[in-house]
Structure 1
């Protein structure tokens, strides 16, 4: 569920500037489109007081955003509640987000109120609200855990193409006995919309034959799609299929490229494979220093086999070269890690 922020309400404000029969509302919209939020607030205040739901929503969003002065949470929420009561769908959704997350000391988190607000918008066919109501029910946040009702709301959103509802339906069914086929169906729908985590999951299911017949060509295709979007897990997955020759001729040189991308994003399995390939001269010229460096990094990340393969590399190297390789690992760690940390791991689980 997306986290509420004043920035979100600014987006809602921008998207809500529609024309209206009420002159004051239109005047406010015209002023806001020119960046004159003080005038917009004055005009919308008049229209909102007269009962115009669009003006109530825009006024509430404006007060919450602070674009017309200091943010006014209490009055912003008050106007959103009025708009919601008048049937404004986006106002109900915005209220749900506000109550779900709270707003510092000014507004406490209230999942029961959040659910009621989401439910109002969900009943009008609003997919983000249907998804949010479903997730609250699924997680038992603010009300009794109700998987049946949760799935009903998630399905309504998913049927309208809401990608996160599709993905979470996949996750739900994946945890149910004998429902891998249903899980795959929803994961595939989300994957086809370009969601990287769904694409990775679909690739895994094709690779393992879960919920669908095993198809390594499809697995590779979906790994590559997710990998191109920055999925580190899929970068490793694509590399592994190429490295192992699963479904096609083995291609260690191409695998190396994907392992390098994943390793640079802190995938310890990819770091281990790089170390192994440099140690064995597989798909790349043998290089004990590079092998030790990557195995050292993988071992530092907790990869069990890396400890032992690093020791095997060390046996083939003079002490000075081992120290240099460890230093290179430390330098790589420092250059690619935001948190200061001493890269030292002399034995399994050493730190």
Structure 2
């Protein structure tokens, strides 16, 4: 899972600050909200030097954000550390993220990340509770303790954190929570899905299709696939294409299938690319086109789909040598035009199209 620092502009403790620090922090906050980050930096630096913990935290975060040009990362982190040492929970959380991920300026340090997350988690910081749970489950920066990690994940999940809820669902699917419990997994996935987490929405759809932890309901499955697909979830897009293609829970619609397969194919789903090749080969819902069929099967085969190799060979046997070369060039052109599109690699090393 990826943990990312965010610039947080907050004034959580400013009411406890002396009036001069309050004024400097407020001036910086107004400037930041107007996009004048240089002025914000100046005001927050003045307040930070007077001990305003909100200013210290926001100054460090602003310096790391790149919005005020090049800065000394160690100096920026120093301000965040000062705020964290005084109990600023957002500072502790951000410090945890910084040491969890590491960078070229400073080394990854799981032990320090754990301590920072622990400090914020004990004060009720929901995202820190999630991060602490993950580190305990994985044994990162601390001796592995799955049971304790699950308790922190549950605290975070009960407070509405969709990442924690999703991971709890996965733990009950895999048995990492102590036992496999599809019904409990469905409960947590559903809560995460309701919070808008696309991967959880996809899992809920799959469970409705497979009847795991809930009764089979293709209509509900499609509804959740759509929600995830609209957020760009490639596997959900493919799932919708397959439901339309096979008529699962609906009438067969090759037109709908093609639309969803095309969206998933652009996300480099090899199964969607394979089905597009078959549809063009057989003329299912569209005019048969062996060059297009070869193109999509070639892309799918290059993406690691075993059956695509067989079908590509079959299509090639129906084409002239020059047409095979033309179709391969079409595949290469599509590959070059779309390879920058966010996608996953199925193999351990980046794939190449040959």
- TM-score calculated relative to the size of structure 1: 0.86
Change (3 A) 1:67 1:26: farther
**In 2, Cα distance between the equivalents of 1:29 and 1:338?**
42
Once superposed, what is the RMSD of the aligned Cα atoms? 2.5
Q: Which has the larger radius of gyration?
A: 1
Query: Which residue pairs with 1:167 in the alignment?
Result: 166
Of the three residues 296, 311, 323, the one matched with 1:321 is: 323
Q: Alignment partner of 1:15: what SS?
A: coil
Contact 1:24/1:46 (CA < 8 Å) preserved in 2? no
Of the three residues 335, 338, 343, the one matched with 2:337 is: 335
**In 2, Cα distance between the equivalents of 1:261 and 1:286?**
20
Contact 1:18/1:29 (CA < 8 Å) preserved in 2? no
Q: Which moved more, 1:71-80 or 1:187-196?
A: 71-80
Change (3 A) 1:15 1:314: same
Contact 2:133/2:152 (CA < 8 Å) preserved in 1? yes
Change (3 A) 1:261 1:65: closer
Q: How does 1:1-351 map to 2 (within 5 A)?
A: 2-5=2-5, 8=6, 11-12=7-8, 14-16=9-11, 19-20=14-15, 21-32=17-28, 33-34=30-31, 35=36, 36-37=39-40, 39-48=42-51, 52-61=52-61, 71-105=71-105, 107-176=106-175, 177-338=179-340, 343-344=353-354
**In 1, Cα distance between the equivalents of 2:262 and 2:197?**
23
Unpaired segments of 5 or more residues in structure 2? 342-349
**In 2, Cα distance between the equivalents of 1:163 and 1:87?**
25
Post-superposition offset of 1:38: 5.5
Q: Alignment partner of 2:50: what SS?
A: helix
Contact 1:24/1:43 (CA < 8 Å) preserved in 2? no
**In 1, Cα distance between the equivalents of 2:68 and 2:246?**
60
Contact 1:47/1:55 (CA < 8 Å) preserved in 2? no
Change (3 A) 1:61 1:280: closer
Post-superposition offset of 1:280: 1.1
Contact 1:131/1:165 (CA < 8 Å) preserved in 2? yes
Contact 1:66/1:72 (CA < 8 Å) preserved in 2? no
Unpaired segments of 5 or more residues in structure 1? 345-351
Change (3 A) 1:57 1:178: closer
